[in-house]
Each structure stands twice: as structure tokens, then as C-alpha cells.
Amino acid sequence: MYLNSGYLNNSHIDFKDKSRPLIVGSCGTYRLYAHPKLPTLRPRGRLDFQIIYVCAGAAHFHFDHAENDTVVTAGNIVVYRPKEFQKYEYYADDKTEVYWVHFTGGNVKNILRSYGISDDMRVFYVGTSLEYERIFKRMITELQRCQADYEEMLTMLLRHLLILIHRQLTKQHVLKNEYLDSEMDLAAQYFNDNYNTDIRVEDYAASRSMSVSWFIRNFKAYTGSTPLQYLVSIRIANAQALLETTTYTVTEIGRIVGYDNPLYFSRIFHKQNGVSPSEYRKRVLRNDS
């Protein structure tokens, strides 16, 4: 096992200090390659905050209860808040390598929020990067050497780490939004182009490798209506145009916009407009005369 760590004022005792917005108390790294297991158990947690970065292998975390077992793989960060139950293990078989930093301060919650780490975030992916490791190593060195202004340097280094984390979280959010927008725009265009055919929402979702519930939820967030509501609105809008500008019968118009059953078409049309297709046409003709 490889261990390298540094502690503020060489004290291993965790502490709470609100005299400054952000204070780094300790930082270190563990790397298991021979020692079979490294367990940690803090039933009452600690007084400070902790970030654990899994840079290689995997680690086992038991959030909230000892019976829970969550495997956290490389590229993920774990955040512990003050007084949270802590139980986790590193195993040599998993080739675990982690970096950790403990910190406190009078404005930690708001600082974390400002960098995209909300109060309910416990495990999140940031990817693997040598830049993260370099920052952790710099903090360890600063704690060990205690050079001039090292406490301020520690705060700057931790903020540097948080900035990199925020950039990664923002990038992931943007990519996710771009993907969602692209998929939902594609779906809306497909419905517009094929509204008069027998479109099944389940089949479309499956064709795009999406679950039906996920597709419906995100389509509604994008367009303001469910896929079925969107289809109905297109069909009825086109039916209105045909009623206003052509002499096709109501039955023919129903078929044109995708309804083979004229009674069902009339019922849907009435629900959307408050009048039947025939009455709608009569009103248009009266207004034009």
C-alpha cells in the first residue's frame, strides 16, 4: 500500500472553523496493490467536509447504512458532509487509487453550490485527469512543507479543483442538453412529416433506443405537450384548414389527416374545438358570407 498525506498544523483531529470561507484541513492519497483491504468507519461522520476522488480501480461505499454497498469506479467523486455516516473500503483486488481532501469554513455550502455541487449530490462523474491528481499532490506538498502563505495557497488549489469539476459538470450538462434537443427536434419533425400515418409512440421510442416513459417525459419538456397531444394538435389543425378551404366531406378529411373512423375523428375534433367538424365548417361559411 502507498500512502502520502499532509495535515494542517500536523493535527489529525478533524475540526470545524468558520473564521474564513474555506479552509483546507488535510489532503492525501491511497494506492492499494498488495495490502488486501483498507476499511474506514466513522459512524458519526466528521466535523468537516470531504471530497474523495477515485482515480483508478474502484471503491466500496456504504451510504447511510452499513448494509448498503455502492461500487464507485474511476472518474467519480464522492462528497461527504459534516456528521454524515461514513463507511467505505478499498481492496487490492480492485487496484484502488484515491485522493482525498478535508475542508471546512464559514461558506462551504454556498461555495460548493456555486461550482455546481448541489446539497443532494453524493457521487458524480468527472472523468479521469492528471490535472486533478496534480492539484491533490500540490495540496499534499503544501501541507507537508508549510511554506509562506501556504494556507492561502491551499484554498486557491481547492478552488482550482472545484473549478475543473464545475467545468466538467457544465460540459456534461451541455452535451446532455444538446443530445436531448437534437432527439426531441428529430421526433417533432418526424411527427410533422408523418402525422397522417399510424404512428405508435412506443414504436418510435424503441426505434431511437429510448424507454417510452423517458421519451414522453423529455418530449413534453421540449414541446410543452406529450407526443400523442402533439400528433392530435397537428391532425386537427390540418383538418381545420381542409374544412375551411376544400369541399371534401368530413369522412374524407378525417382519413386525410389520419383518422379512418369518422366517429372517432368527430369526437376528437369536438374535444379540441368545442364543435363538430360539420358545425365548424358551417361557422366558417357564415363568417365568409
Q: What is the DSSP letter of 39?
A: E
* Sheet-wide strand order for 76-80: 2-7, 23-31, 97-104, 49-56, 76-80, 123-125
Query: What SS3 class is residue 43?
Result: coil
What is 2-172's CATH number?
A: 2.60.120.280
- pTM listed for this prediction: 0.65
Return the C-alpha cell found at 267: 369526437
243 and 281 Cβ atoms separated by less than 8 Å: yes
Q: Where in the chain is the domain with CATH 1.10.10.60?
A: 197-289
For the chain, the helix, strand and coil percentages under 3-state DSSP, each to the nearest 5? 50, 20, 30
Q: Where in the chain is the domain with CATH 2.60.120.280?
A: 2-172
2 and 30 Cβ atoms separated by less than 8 Å: yes
Q: What does the pLDDT read at residue 83?
A: 96
Please report how the helices 130-145 and 150-194 are oriented relative to each other, as an axis angle in degrees rounded to 10. Answer: 160
190 and 215 Cβ atoms separated by less than 8 Å: no
φ, ψ of residue 193 in degrees (nearest 5): -75, -25
Could you tell me the CATH superfamily of domain 197-289? Homeodomain-like (1.10.10.60)
Q: What does the pLDDT read at residue 50?
A: 98
Q: What does the pLDDT read at residue 288?
A: 63
Per-block mean pLDDT, blocks of 10 residues, the chain (289 long): 92 94 97 86 96 96 92 96 96 94 98 95 93 97 96 98 94 78 92 94 92 92 92 95 94 95 95 94 78
